[in-house]
Amino acid sequence: MAGDIAPTGTKFTPTNPDTSGIIVTVTGAAGYLGEHLVKTLLEAGYTVRGTVRDVDDLERLQCLKSLPGAPERLSLFAANLLVPGSFDKAVEGATYVLHSASPVALEVVADPEGTLIRPAVEGTQNVLTSVHKSTSVRRVVLTGSFRSIFGLGDDHPKGYVYTEEDWNDKSSLDNNQGYALSKTLAERAAWAFVERVSPTSWDMVVLNPGLIFGPLLSRYHTDAFSVQFFKQTIMLSGRRKIRRLKGGGAGAAGVTETVGSARAAAPALQNLR
């Protein structure tokens, strides 16, 4: 059933329990991670505004509307990453914005510029523009990716510790790494925006998880990037490849669990400057 909700462990409890009446906007609310973000925030007592592509797609949105607390504290807004101003209504009045909407692709796409890069970069800029126009937002939490830091072919020595100073300068359209390039360019664009406008009323935090695996909240995400990657890894390489995913190496990838990613984002809303 589209509205079936998978069990996801214990309920999230914020360190600051006074969340009643605080509005959080989640972009990409109907996405694989977005649904977990909405669920976690509702559990914590926040009022949530979710942006989706089509607010009239009732079957697709049934999962979100069925979440505990949703009837009272969840509102959905239509927004398009490529349309300036389309996030204005969802953002104005919110204290926090979690930007998780971004295109993903496991296979090589015919038009990476139009399919991946423009939506990621321009979408991030459009969301931040709406944030900067608002009179209420205090913090933006941007869901980035480890691929904006780590590029396939990095020649760092074993044991090298990546920091905020590291950027992926290996990925390009020429080597068919459009997704990694899109995440790198989107985060660079976000920091460039912050530097340019020098906001005094809001700040930004970027979380860069690895490949996100975990329970599906709705059947619509069986084709999600991480789900398909996991299936292909199992079918092609078996357990040996899974150990590489967790253990490192030139072709390794960090692994993050969906619930853990959502619960990492929620505390980032607290301890404002």
Distance, in Å, from the CA atom of 163 to the CA atom of 118, rounded to the nearest integer, reads 26
**Tokens 């079957």 belong to residue:** 59
Q: How far apart are the first and last CA of the chain?
A: 43
Token readout for 179 is: 């997704």
3-class state of residue 249 by DSSP: coil
Phi, psi of 24 (to 5 degrees): -120, 130
Query: Per the residue annotation, which of 39, 89, 170, 183 is the catalytic one?
Result: 183
Euclidean distance between CA atoms 196 and 120, whole angstroms:
19
List Cβ neighbours of 208 (8 Å cut-off, separation of 6 or more).
144, 145, 146, 148, 149, 187
Instruction: Tell me whether residue 231 is one of the annotated catalytic residues.
Output: no
**In the chain, alpha helices (H):** 32-43, 58-65, 70-73, 88-91, 112, 118-133, 178-197, 225-237, 239-247, 258-265
CB 267 within 8 A of CB 19: no
Query: Which residues are identified as catalytic?
Result: 183
